[in-house]
Amino acid sequence: MSEPIVITIDGPSASGKSTNAKLISAQLGYVYVDTGAMYRTLAWHALQKGVDVMDAEAVAMLCRDWNAELVCLENRVWLEVDGCFPEQEIRTAETSAAVSHVATVPFVRDWMREKQRSCVQFGNLVMEGRDIGSNIFPETPYKFFMDAAAEVRQARRDADGVQENLAARDERDSTRKAAPLVIPEGAMVINNSGETPEDTSTRIIALVEEQRNS
Ligand code: CDP
């Protein structure tokens, strides 16, 4: 059997990763993996358990003790916490403020890397995040880096109704030591400031096809 195809989409907050990754995975019939949701789930779990998200050792211990299962439901991968798949809860302002702190912990990143690489068990993937093309699947030829103007991204997040200073989180993600947000080597940079998601996802699918046929 041939190796699963992995399309990686990295980029800063509200750059359109999720919208496009979902459209592309639906169009191609690939499995969608939102790695940001995995980090958010861990941050939410820490908050629920009263673990200080600034305490790297405590966060690492929580992660070590967490018997987390990956489940693929309707072509989407979820990280299970105590028998449930939190969704709305992980998008709150409180979780958003906590997530980039747990994401700096080296033990957490190694733990996530192993989980995320194991997603190929579910088939071809569209995986979005901050370090997917640079650190999780550096070997894939299908790497994209999404970007949009800072004011466009902040306006998108405000429209979601979540109060958050994106610049502060982006700064933490780009300057951390472990697997910071970078443009992965070999990635195509896709600036989608003036485009509809349909235009952007069609453009990315065409680039993947071109690459596959080359
Ligand atoms: O929705 P948004 O683009 O704002 O963020 P997200 O994709 O849900 O990711 C939330 C946070 O998780 C990021 O700000 C990073 O701190 C962390 N993250 C990461 O470090 N590495 C990834 N591969 C994905 C997310």
First-to-last C-alpha distance (Å) of the chain: 21
User: The tokens of 97 are what?
Assistant: 């403020």
Q: How far is ligand 1, taken at its centre, from the CA of residue 16, in Å?
A: 12
Query: Is the Cβ atom of 112 under 6 angstroms away from ligand 1?
Result: no
Closest Cα to atom 4, ligand 1: which residue?
13
From 100, 164, 174, the mutation candidate for ligand 1 (largest count of ligand atoms within 8 A of CB) is 100
- What contacts 160, CB < 8 A, 6 or more positions away? 91
- What contacts 78, CB < 8 A, 6 or more positions away? 37, 70, 71, 72, 85
Beta bridge partners of 147: 191
Q: Where are the beta strands (DSSP E) in the chain?
A: 6-10, 31-34, 69-73, 76-80, 125-129, 142-147, 188-191
The pLDDT tens digits of the residues spanning 48-106 come to 999 999 999 999 999 999 888 999 999 999 999 988 899 999 999 999 999 999 999 99
pLDDT category of residue 193 using cuts at 50, 70 and 90 = confident
Query: Is the Cβ atom of 35 under 6 angstroms away from ligand 1?
Result: yes
User: The tokens of 149 are what?
Assistant: 């103007």
What pLDDT score does 169 carry?
Answer: 87
What pLDDT score does 1 carry?
Answer: 60
The pLDDT tens digits of the residues spanning 99-138 come to 999 999 999 999 999 999 999 999 999 999 999 999 999 9
